[in-house]
Amino acid sequence: MMQHPSAFLPAGVADVLRAGSAVAEAARDLHPDQLRLIYEHQWWRMLAPGKPLTLPELVRLEEGIAWADGSVGWTVTLCSGAGWFAGFFPAGAYSGIFSDWRMCIAGSGAPSGEAFPAPGGYRISGKWDYASGAMHATAFTANCVIVSGDGQRQVRPFLFFPEEVVVHKTWNTIGLVATGSHSFEVGDRLVPADRCFAIEPAKAEDGDAVYQYPFLQLAEVTLAANLAGMAVHFLDCCEELFRKRERITATVQLEEGWSLLGELRWEFYRAVDDSWAGRTGFDAVSRTSRALVAGVRKVVDGLYPYGGLGAARPDAEINRVWRDLHTASQHSLLVD
């Protein structure tokens, strides 16, 4: 039987994260107490070179954080994932950013910038959407299309300093409100050539196994874990709500939901653990991640109508979790 996500968090952490949820949503930014825990536990740095977490540890922790609060879980996952890129820079490069205890890297994988070779580097212009954690970022990463003189084009990621970008407060969604996933822009900026990096295991200076894990599957499992954490939180809310309403049909549906979610989480974690140990290939990781997300949507949407009008109130906990989950599920990697 799979452990409840609460088991993956240090004692007392969930209470602090949850206590700030409503205020964070109203402020459209993470609560100071939530930020304090992020810095205290170095969650934005947990994939940075040094002593990164193993993938099984990372995924369970991220599910636990997302269970406690969707916006915190999503921001930690996206920003620590961008922090993973630090492993592909030469050791000691940009130590002012990568060794900063407040390190928070926000970014975008969309190739919506252009980079033209120039003396000393590249001249870059572009605008990128959905940079979770943008308001707290100590650096940004973004994909650009490099346009060479002969017309050839290739997509490569670049690192930007905060003073080189302009953040536009464009994040306006029904859920994950406190993630501050705003857009950012770079306007005709000369960027040194060594800020262009490659996500290639052979280029990882740190020999840790996490830098040898494929980026696609790393992204899939961490995002899927967030959906799983939010789904368990939603079912927890249903437990409390349905107990008061005493509707047999709802209770039966909830039991079936717990059963399906438990099976999907078990298969998911088995694939994650086996891939990390080299016992299985990465196709199983992608397959179980997508199956988990599809199952989460099915379970949650099947239960939501039994919540009544109380579940439709924006200030209700179950409503916030529902909105967070459905906003997260719109990520392009989670849509077949």
Q: Could you read off the pLDDT of 195-205 as tens digits, one per residue?
A: 999 998 887 87
The answer to whether 131 touches 183, Cβ cutoff 8 Å, is yes
Average pLDDT over residues 254-277: 97
The answer to whether 138 touches 103, Cβ cutoff 8 Å, is yes
pLDDT at 190: 97
What torsion, rounded to 10 degrees, do the Cα atoms 292, 297, 299, 302 define?
-160
If phi > 0 it is left, if psi is from -120 to 50 it is alpha, else beta; for residue 28 that is: left
Q: Could you read off the pLDDT of 53-75 as tens digits, one per residue?
A: 999 999 999 999 999 999 999 99
Average pLDDT over residues 136-145: 98
Q: Interior CA angle at 12 toward 6 and 13, to 5°?
A: 70
Place 5 in a pLDDT band, splitting at 50, 70 and 90.
very high
pLDDT at position 22 over 80: yes
Average pLDDT over residues 116-130: 97
pLDDT at position 1 over 90: no
Structure-token match 């490569």, residue found: 156
The answer to whether 268 touches 289, Cβ cutoff 8 Å, is yes
The answer to whether 305 touches 330, Cβ cutoff 8 Å, is no
pLDDT at 37: 98
Which 3 state secondary structure label does DSSP give 182?
Answer: strand
Q: Could you read off the pLDDT of 307-333 as tens digits, one per residue?
A: 999 899 999 999 999 999 999 999 988
Say how far apart CA 252 and CA 57 lie, in whole Å.
33
CATH 1.20.140.10 fits 213-334, yes or no: yes
Strand partners, 275: none
- The token duo for 159 is 């690192």
DSSP string computed for 239-256 = HHHHHHHT-HHHHHHHHH
pLDDT at 150: 80
Place 335 in a pLDDT band, splitting at 50, 70 and 90.
confident
Say how far apart CA 138 and CA 165 lie, in whole Å.
11
* Backbone angles phi and psi of 270, in degrees to 5: -65, -40
* pTM for the predicted model, two decimal places: 0.96
Q: Could you read off the pLDDT of 208-254 as tens digits, one per residue?
A: 899 999 999 999 999 999 999 999 999 999 998 887 777 778 899 99
* Backbone angles phi and psi of 110, in degrees to 5: -70, 130
In this structure, the chain runs to a length of: 336
Average pLDDT over residues 13-17: 98
Which 3 state secondary structure label does DSSP give 10?
Answer: coil
Say how far apart CA 212 and CA 202 lie, in whole Å.
8
- The token duo for 234 is 């939603």
pLDDT at 248: 79
Q: Where along the chain do the CATH 2.40.110.10 domains lie?
A: 105-198
Q: Where along the chain do the CATH 1.20.140.10 domains lie?
A: 213-334
Averaged confidence pLDDT in the chain: 95
In the chain, count of helices (H) and strands (E)? 10, 6
pLDDT at 148: 87
pLDDT at 313: 95
pLDDT at 173: 97
Alpha helices (H) in the chain, listed in sequence order: 13-19, 21-27, 32-40, 55-68, 70-83, 95-98, 215-245, 248-277, 283-303, 317-328
CATH 1.10.357.10 fits 105-198, yes or no: no
The answer to whether 137 touches 96, Cβ cutoff 8 Å, is no
pLDDT at 221: 98
Instruction: Report the relative pairing of strands 153-160 and 166-168 from DSSP bridges.
Output: unpaired
37: closest CA among 10, 56, 57, 8? 10
Place 263 in a pLDDT band, splitting at 50, 70 and 90.
very high
Place 84 in a pLDDT band, splitting at 50, 70 and 90.
very high
Which 3 state secondary structure label does DSSP give 214?
Answer: coil
